[in-house]
Amino acid sequence: MMKKRPKSLILFGNGINCENETAHANSLAGFEPELVHIDELTDRPALIHRFSFINFPGGFLDGDDLGSARAQAVKWKYQKIGGTGGRFLDELVKFVQEGKIIIGICNGFQLLIKTGLLPALGGSCGRQSATLTSNDSGRFEDRWVYLRVNRFSHCIFTKDMDNIYLPVRHGEGKCVVDTPEGISAMKEKGHIVLQYADESGKVTMEYPDNPNGSTEAIAALCDDTGRVFGLMPHPEAFVHRTQHPRWTRGGICSEGDGLKIFMNACKYITES
């Protein structure tokens, strides 16, 4: 008998525009993906508990009014839902407490940061302690970047991974942390998962290898559990060798670096 695939939720609507690529990556990795409109999700918040994995894809949620993902983050943090008097953020926290996993990509990463689900230092979900703001270049950056994987991080999505190569496309990707103590805590506790690097794998603040001037060259963060993961690069945009900008020149593995992130997610769920 064929083993049943774990179910994953991919959010779409209201400006999100990478849902189909994200669903495809989920399917390749072993999930049974389902696209759910963001309005349905907030109307029926308990719906998320049917799934093991939530994906917040990239795009321009709510047209980036008030700043990238801020409008939706405010709704999820403060707007009461249904007749329960609770918030949608509370449902997401419960989802994680049940041992399930979340990924936020680009705009989805901005959403996780601004709801306070990342980095959630000391488990303080809901308190924003970092932000993603305008790139130092003052322009939208659309390029491929080298990324150093922090092997001391407890992130389940990057387990056993080496340095990787992924595309970025964002105007507000510079990660800024509210205090020096916050940065120290993130480094000490393994919250920093990916950092922008040069071709040799050395972490860098130099443009364009670091496309946005992010503090500590941060490209991705996880929470205390390692099960909530946000990144500015797009793993769903490199799941096959033909998506690599130099794929015709040989030496490119058949599986893209981004697919490994989703495969790790599926492995974690199926083995938990």
Is 236 an active-site residue? Answer: yes
Is 106 an active-site residue? Answer: yes
Check if the beta carbon of residue 223 is closer than 8 Å to that of residue 190: no
3-state secondary structure of 21: helix
Round to whole Å and give the CA distance between 219 and 234: 11
Q: Which of 79, 36, 75, 89 is nearest to 228 (CA)?
A: 89
Q: How many CA atoms lie within 13 A of 160 on its CB side?
A: 6
The residue behind tokens 């990916």 is 194
Catalytic-labelled residue, pool 21, 125, 172, 234: 234
DSSP 204: -
Round to whole Å and give the CA distance between 103 and 108: 8
Is 155 an active-site residue? Answer: no
Check if the beta carbon of residue 40 is closer than 8 Å to that of residue 47: yes
Check if the beta carbon of residue 107 is closer than 8 Å to that of residue 57: yes
Catalytic-labelled residue, pool 19, 222, 236, 266: 236
Check if the beta carbon of residue 132 is closer than 8 Å to that of residue 173: yes
The C-alpha angle 3, 40, 24, rounded to 5 degrees, equals 40
Catalytic-labelled residue, pool 21, 91, 106, 175: 106
Residues assigned a catalytic role: 106, 234, 236
